[in-house]
């Protein structure tokens, strides 16, 4: 079972808990985080002792503020491969979508951008009165999507802009 400073893992009997652990940044995702989550899920998918997984965010502000765009920008300026983050993030999202065991994500508080990818593909999503979902990167003309358009096009009922009138 792998754990990093930014992603904690707890075992409670047959349940495994993944805790995104950057509360000061509302658990904004780094490449190391998405790679750690993907590695854990791959390990547990084939482990008969694991019967379910949860994903949650540390702190009280929210599940995840999306990708850490500051870290991605810094990596680009340092000559790094910015595509690695997105490849890793999309691979993690795909694994969450196809995970063969019950996987519940607690969408409490802010769920932004990549946080939508971490949670919306899960088989079980728990929302609260504090849940606020958004894709704020669209305000700067950037829309990596994380599958949001696919999911919204299949959402039951109606989707309305906050404050919109029928």
Choosing from 66, 114, 115, 117, which is the catalytic residue?
114
Annotated catalytic residue 60: no
Task: Name the pTM for this structure.
Answer: 0.85
Annotated catalytic residue 137: yes
Choosing from 67, 109, 113, 115, which is the catalytic residue?
67
Please name the residues in contact with 78: beta carbons below 8 A apart, sequence gap of 6 or more: none
Q: Regarding predicted confidence, which is higher, 62 or 161?
A: 62
Q: Domains for the chain: give ranges and CATH numbers.
A: 7-153 (3.90.226.10)
Q: How far apart are CA 116 and CA 65, in angstroms?
A: 9
Judge whether residue 141 has pLDDT over 90: no
Judge whether residue 3 has pLDDT over 70: no
Annotated catalytic residue 62: no
The single-letter DSSP state of residue 129 is T
The chain-wide mean pLDDT, for the chain, equals: 87
Per-residue pLDDT of 37-69, as tens digits, reads 999 999 999 999 999 999 999 999 999 999 888
Q: At what angle do helices 83-98 and 31-45 cross, to 10 degrees?
A: 30
Judge whether residue 1 has pLDDT over 70: no
pLDDT of amino acid 135: 79
Q: What is the band of 83 on the pLDDT scale with cuts at 50, 70, 90?
A: confident
């Amino acid at each position: 079972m792998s754990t990093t400073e930014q992603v904690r893992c707890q075992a409670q009997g047959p349940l495994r808990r993944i805790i995104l652990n950057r509360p000061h940044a509302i658990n904004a995702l780094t490449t190391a985080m998405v790679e750690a989550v993907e590695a854990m899920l791959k390990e547990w998918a084939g482990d008969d002792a694991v019967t379910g997984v949860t994903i949650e965010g540390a702190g009280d502000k929210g599940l995840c503020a999306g990708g850490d765009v500051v870290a991605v920008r810094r990596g680009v300026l340092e000559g790094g491969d910015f595509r690695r983050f997105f490849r890793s993030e999309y691979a993690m999202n795909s694994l969450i979508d196809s995970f063969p065991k019950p996987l519940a994500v607690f969408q409490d508080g802010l769920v932004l951008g990549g946080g939508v990818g971490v949670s919306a593909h899960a088989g079980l999503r728990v929302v609260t009165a504090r849940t606020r979902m958004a894709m704020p990167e669209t305000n700067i003309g950037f829309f990596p999507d994380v599958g949001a358009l696919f999911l919204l096009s299949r959402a039951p009922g109606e989707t309305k802009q906050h404050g919109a009138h029928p």
